[in-house]
Amino acid sequence: MIKNDLFLRALNGETVERPPVWMMRQAGRYLPEFMEIKAKYDFFTRCQTPELASEITVQPIRRYGMDAAILFSDILVIPQAMNIQVEMKPNFGPYLPNPIRKAEDLNRVIVPNIDDTLGYVMGAIKMTKEKLNDDIPLIGFAGSPWTILCYCVQGQGSKNFDLAKGFCFTQPEAAHQLLQKITDTTIAYLKEKVKAGVNAVQVFDSWGGMLSPTDYQEFSFQYIQQIVDALKDEAPVIVFGKGCWFALGDMAKSGAAALGVDWTCSARNARYLSGGKITLQGNFDPSRLLSPPKKIKKMVHQMISEFGKDQYIVNLGHGILPNIPLENAGAFVEAVKEYKAL
């Protein structure tokens, strides 16, 4: 039994004494103890070495005591497993030297055996579970198929993913074939994560907001729906689409346990658009963690008052930034623990 099950109870829609809190990307780049590991090992070595990944996962828990841990990994381990080369270049980000640009390129893309290609992730989960000692739940995650396609086609990060969108609009058959392969891989991957011990999973659709509502249904949401359908009976699923306020209504009917909200969507609008009956997570602007600690605490209390303490998980509206002062991250977590429903 998990000793602090606040996060799981909130996902289940139960009445809680205060909302749970965790932060997207909490395992990593703003922590000095993470930077020490980063100085010694390159990015994918950190992801692929269970001892390192599990240590990085628990670092923020030791320091701040969040109500849930999220496994240190990356969404791009999926294309790597699918026989698509991915590099992480310092001061540049992800780089895929052989992007998918035409139908023939799909011949080299496989739906892999998860044990063979991503067994190291399951090793990291098992080691992390031992370190957490059932104190708090562990979250596993994956990128949405559309978000993964963006990198596979663009070959790197982008402000508008024009090549990825162009691929979908000029070669829709090939795009859907790639999306389905990513979806099948992601479902198998998340199922293995649940078997290995994660207590919930989150699907990150980081680039969903690049699509119009109509295109979102065709190239993103129908594939997220497949993932939710396949996983929802095995573990709670959180769906987070950045910039996807227009899809909250459909997401709320998907069978997901909770929906992530970014900082451009108010608590009131998020409750309204999602139908008011599903747990919501978010939506603190990550840059607002640069505000003074006192101001952060005030804003967090205001945010909880607006969302309500039940069916709500306190989080950022996207990942924590590398330049956030430690004290400010601490103020964010403390504010939630100090919160008393007025």
- The whole-number average pLDDT for the span 287-307 is 98
- The whole-number average pLDDT for the span 248-269 is 98
Would you call 105 exposed, middle or buried from its count of C-beta atoms within 10 A (0-12, 13-18, 19+)? middle
- Residue 341 reports pLDDT greater than 70: no
Would you call 159 exposed, middle or buried from its count of C-beta atoms within 10 A (0-12, 13-18, 19+)? exposed
- The whole-number average pLDDT for the span 42-69 is 98
pLDDT digits (tens, 9 = 90+) for 151-168: 999 999 999 999 999 999
Mark the binding-site residues, compressed into ranges: 25-29, 44, 74, 151, 206, 318
- Residue 84 reports pLDDT greater than 70: yes
- Residue 149 reports pLDDT greater than 90: yes
Q: Where are the domains of the chain?
A: 6-338
Mark the binding-site residues for substrate, compressed into ranges: 25-29, 44, 74, 151, 206, 318
pLDDT bin (cut points 50, 70, 90) of residue 340 is confident
Cα angle 270, 144, 11; round to 5: 45
- Residue 342 reports pLDDT greater than 90: no
Q: Which pLDDT does position 286 carry in this prediction?
A: 98
Longest Cα separation, the chain: 61
Query: How far is 33 from 190, CA to CA, in rounded Å?
Result: 28
- Residue 75 reports pLDDT greater than 90: yes
What are the start-end ranges of the H helices in the chain?
Answer: 6-11, 32-40, 43-48, 50-64, 77-81, 114-132, 145-154, 162-170, 172-196, 213-216, 222-231, 248-252, 267-273, 293-307, 326-338
What percentage of residues in the chain have a pLDDT greater than 90?
A: 99
pLDDT digits (tens, 9 = 90+) for 233-250: 999 999 999 999 999 999
- Residue 129 reports pLDDT greater than 80: yes
pLDDT bin (cut points 50, 70, 90) of residue 33 is very high
- The whole-number average pLDDT for the span 62-88 is 98
Q: Which pLDDT does position 141 carry in this prediction?
A: 98
3-class DSSP state of 87: strand
Report the mean per-residue pLDDT for the chain.
97
Q: Which pLDDT does position 9 carry in this prediction?
A: 98
Question: Would strands 87-89 and 93-95 be described as parallel, antiparallel, or unpaired?
Answer: antiparallel
- The whole-number average pLDDT for the span 138-157 is 98
Q: Which pLDDT does position 259 carry in this prediction?
A: 98
Query: Token pair of 211, please?
Result: 């699509």
Place of tokens 């070495």: 49
Q: What is the CATH number of domain 6-338?
A: 3.20.20.210
- The whole-number average pLDDT for the span 163-183 is 98
Query: How far is 250 from 180, CA to CA, in rounded Å?
Result: 20
